[in-house]
Amino acid sequence: MEWAQSRYDEIVNKLKPFIRSTCGFKDDQVIYLPISGLNGDNLKEKKNTPAWVKTHEAAAQNMTFFELIDGLDIAHKKKKEGALRIPMLDGYRDMGALMAIGKIEQGQIQPGMKCLVQPTGKTCIAQNVFIGEDEVSHATVGENITVKIGGGLSEEDLRRGFVLCPAADPARALLKFKAQFKILDLVEERPLLTAGYRCVIHFHTAVEDCEVTRLVECMTLAPKKKIEKNPKFAKVNDVLTCVITLDRRAALDSFTGCEKLGRFTLRDEGRTIGIGKILELAKEK
């Protein structure tokens, strides 16, 4: 678009309502930075950016994209002090050794740690830890790792969606939880969401069938904010608090316990119908 400011303004004006209403971000939490992915302009360095970029909104900081990313403060989001949580991507054998692949979402892992796999409850030992091809003495939050597993498990015990955690403080494996999500879309033949609504839930690396079993509270945002207790139904753009029941047990946590294990997306017939968080885990006998 030859760095046209009018095109930049058009994109920003279209994105703002979506980011504000659908994603829940306030305007002062969002930074808009014009770049050219095609030519690499304003990514690592300013090469061909026009004068208006230096004086317009976020660009007035006179930063490139890499500079802006490097300057973001996200350290407080990393929970190194919490119990280990590794949602697994896969398990396989390498020269007879059983290996597990995943990303550390909370805590730290080191060789010799006694671990437990949820939701199966089977125990194992983390014998060696690798980041890429390099064996390391420990790994922490945000790192993609491969762990050599000992303890008599098989590939079937290290499926995608299972969570590797310490045996002393494991993640909970459950069927039911209280959740809150915004309804983004619904299929034409089911324009209202009621108790008994079945769909597919995505959380960390897992995908499970589920059912919305009870509606607790519905908050309508437009034309004015309105809260209804024990509603009969909810519709698109409502914020719904409800109880969700899984078809089989899965390892989860509340959003306040471990954010990465407490977020989820609901899908139905290829559509994303809701994005939300887990408020409370059910108390099971």
**DSSP states along 187-250:** -TT--SB-TTEEEEEEETTEEEEEEEEEEEEEEE-SSS-EEEES-S-B-TT-EEEEEEEEEEEE
Quick one: pLDDT at residue 199? 96
Quick one: pLDDT at residue 21? 67
Quick one: pLDDT at residue 44? 85
Quick one: pLDDT at residue 68? 84
End-to-end CA distance of the chain: 62
Write out pLDDT tens, residues 106-130.
999 999 999 999 999 999 999 999 9
3-state secondary structure of 182: strand
Quick one: pLDDT at residue 76? 47
Q: Are 240 and 218 in contact (CB under 8 A)?
A: yes
DSSP 11: H
Q: Round to whole Å and give the CA distance between 143 and 89.
A: 13
CATH number of 172-281: 2.40.30.10, 3.40.50.300, 3.40.50.1000, 2.60.40.1930? 2.40.30.10
Quick one: pLDDT at residue 23? 64
Q: Round to whole Å and give the CA distance between 16 and 68.
A: 20
CATH fourth-level superfamily of 86-166: Translation factors (2.40.30.10)
Cis geometry, peptide bond prior to residue 87 (ω within 30 degrees of 0): no
Quick one: pLDDT at residue 1? 67
Quick one: pLDDT at residue 130? 95
Q: Are 158 and 195 in contact (CB under 8 A)?
A: no
Burial classification of residue 74, based on how many CB atoms lie within 10 Å of its CB (0-12 exposed, 13-18 middle, 19 or more buried): exposed
Q: What is the pTM of this model?
A: 0.76
Q: Are 236 and 185 in contact (CB under 8 A)?
A: yes
Quick one: pLDDT at residue 74? 62
Residue intervals in the chain for CATH 2.40.30.10: 86-166, 172-281
DSSP 62: -
Q: Round to whole Å and give the CA distance between 282 and 285.
A: 10
Q: Are 203 and 252 in contact (CB under 8 A)?
A: yes
Residue 77 to residues 81, 139, 141, Cα–Cα distance (Å): 11, 17, 10
Write out pLDDT tens, residues 195-226.
999 999 999 999 999 999 999 999 987 777 88
pLDDT beneath 70, residues of the chain: 1, 21-24, 54-61, 74-80, 284-285
Quick one: pLDDT at residue 56? 59
Quick one: pLDDT at residue 261? 92
